[in-house]
Amino acid sequence: MMLTGFAAVVRRTPMIPIKSRREIEKMRRAGAIVGDLLEEFRGWIAPGVTTEELDRKAEEFIRGRGGRASFKGYRGFPASICTSLNEEVVHGIPDKRVVRTGDIVSVDVGVEFDYYHGDSARTFAVGAVSPRIEALLAAGEGSLRDALAIAGPGVRLWEVSAAIESHVCSRGFSIVKQYVGHGIGRNLHEEPQIPNYVERSNQRSNTLLKPGMTLAIEPMVNAGGEEVRVLDNGWTVVTVDRSWSVHFEHTILITETGIEILTMAGLSRSQERR
């Protein structure tokens, strides 16, 4: 598997870290900032706004809540958030581009609080979009929902990947294979890598999920083919065929009985399943 760039970079460790209660509480704080910030984008993303303005607002929000933007300076990334428009898949750099009616905008947010990270992404439609793009948005969000529905203690990692792949492919869309989800905690990227498709040759895919693991699950789904490439800026990933792409992500905790979504809006809205 090609693992290049940002979302796919993981730190090679021999074991998947199990978080302590103290570490989990810090991740809850980081995740709540992320979730609340993504809710703010519902009002901020509108025709005429620039992605540079969105980045500025996001950094002010994060700092105001006592956090730090995880992405800023990470491997040289120049902004606090990633903003990817239309055919851009991930790692779009905020700039003077103007958002227009009919666009889709994927926003990826990472926040560090007291040395621990939360990471989440969502794709927003700007006004009315075509039925095909509406279906693409539904497939991306639905594939994440299916992955979260199956994740839990005793589940194999490949089962989470299979839930994403099944949902996406059954709806006639394609999965980006070069970029994957990941473990998260004190490091923004930790083991395990979490492909959005079943990679049978990867021994890690048989990993058993255990209480205390924290994972960032993030399907990236294209309306056309799966092939992507990186632009000359060294960051922005686009579809080769220029079809549009969506990105949805949550950071979760594996609990004794299910999962807790750590990047919901507000601490009180973190939800435990089962």
* Residue 180 exposure: Cα atoms within 13 Å on the Cβ side: 29
Question: How far is it, in rounded angstroms, from Cα 263 to Cα 209?
Answer: 19
What pLDDT, on a 0 to 100 scale, did the predictor assign at position 274? 41
By residue count, the chain amounts to 274
pLDDT in tens, the chain (274 residues): 234 345 554 444 458 999 999 999 999 999 999 999 999 999 999 999 999 999 999 999 999 999 999 999 999 999 999 999 999 999 999 999 999 999 999 999 999 999 999 999 999 999 999 999 999 999 999 999 999 999 999 999 999 999 999 999 999 999 999 999 999 999 999 999 999 999 876 666 789 999 999 999 999 999 999 999 999 999 999 999 999 999 999 999 999 999 999 999 864 344 444 4
Query: Does the global pTM surpass 0.75?
Result: yes
| In the chain, domain spans | 21-269
Phi-psi region of 86 (alpha: psi -120 to 50; beta: other; left: phi over 0): left
> Which pLDDT does position 145 carry in this prediction?
98
Per-residue pLDDT, 205: 77
**Measured distance CA(188)–CA(29) in Å, rounded:** 15
Alpha-helical segments (H) within the chain:
21-44, 51-64, 131-150, 157-169
Give the pLDDT score at 201.
65
Token pair in block for residue 34:
């992320």
Q: Which residue has the tokens 């500025």?
A: 56
Which superfamily does 21-269 belong to? Creatinase/methionine aminopeptidase superfamily (3.90.230.10)
Q: What is the pLDDT of residue 22?
A: 98
